[in-house]
Amino acid sequence: MKNQQFKKRNTRPYSSIMLLSAIVITALLGIVTYLMMETPEETESTVSTEIATDPERIEDGIHLRTGLKAGEGMDAVIRHCTPCHSAKLVIQNRMDAAGWESTIHWMQETQNLWDLGDDQEVVIQYLTREYPVSTKGRRQVLKDIEWYSLEQ
């Protein structure tokens, strides 16, 4: 009898330690799982699954599938300017309105680009607004160089 009581009294703290550790471990596992779910790096594969579930998905102002900036006229650019080549080819060429007009004309003459109709203006406005010439994609032509002659 006495021995049994002793056992009872003695196992109580032991089981509460077990219980406490179980709670702590569960909580820690929960926190770790939560942190792992909260901060996944935006990897190529997460982006491509997002594109697979919604090809027109826009994130942080960027149309994921094409890389184009979201804005008025983007749909027209996607429709007319991405069937033949990547949007990258479009984005990396910074031109003013006249430049775009002649590039479009050149593609119509030589590459079977169709007549854009009213969309031509929309496309040119989008491109000159979202990808202005001032933030050039390529190195600028050197200007204001002070040439010097080499001594013989």
Residue 91 as a binder of ligand HEC (CB under 6 A): the answer is no
Phi first, then psi: what are they for 69, rounded to 5°? -75, 135
Structure tokens belonging to residue 120: 């031509």
- CB–CB of 124/100 below 8 Å? yes
Q: Is 103 in the site for ligand HEC (CB under 6 A)?
A: yes
Out of 78, 107, 125, 130, point to the residue binding ligand HEC (CB under 6 A): 107
Judged by CB under 6 A, the number of residues near ligand HEC is 15
What track of x and - describes contact with ligand HEC for positions 48 through 87 (by CB under 6 A)? --------------------------------xx-xxx--
Chain residues binding ligand HEC by CB under 6 A are 80-81, 83-85, 89-90, 93, 103-104, 107, 111-113, 123
